[in-house]
Amino acid sequence: MQAKKVLLTALALLGLGMAQEFLTIGSGSTTGVYFPVATGMAKLVNDAGVGIRANARSTGGSVANINAIAAGEFEMALAQNDIAYYAYQGCCIPAFDGKPVKAIRALAALYPEVVHIVARADAGIRTVADLKGKRVVVGDVGSGTEQNARQILEPTASALRTWARPSG
């Protein structure tokens, strides 16, 4: 309940400070976790009666969201904490290397995000190095998941050349 009050207060102040009446919240794929979370946040704002109308926009994820904020397309978005750090510092991944995004601010940490590497039991994969020559799905383009996969697979550079992008 306290987190809800803090979020609503922050959103109300954001709306007053920017003199806006509409809030677009960048999320992620409609099949992921970010979209229902952003939709729920938009509903909280809309139900609060603070004079701000909000909606959630489906996106590629963290990198795409921060770039959209920087471009003025979104007022708010969900992003993995490591991706937000890289954006603010202008480091660590090609999307932000040497291009810091200093206009972003964190409102809350919602939950810890972990990376899982999953393979069929009969695939013979026991380590990241065993991914060499295998098809690997790394997440949506522009997502934090894609960036984390790049970081994990970078030492196994040949695995990067065998990625399979998700369809759809």
pLDDT single digits (tens) 85-102: 999 999 999 999 999 999
pLDDT band for 115, please (50, 70, 90 cuts): confident
Burial 16-38 (b: 16+ CB within 10 A, else e): eeeeeeebbbbbbbeebebbebb
pLDDT band for 12, please (50, 70, 90 cuts): low
Strand, helix or coil for residue 122: helix
- What average pLDDT score do residues 102-115 get? 89
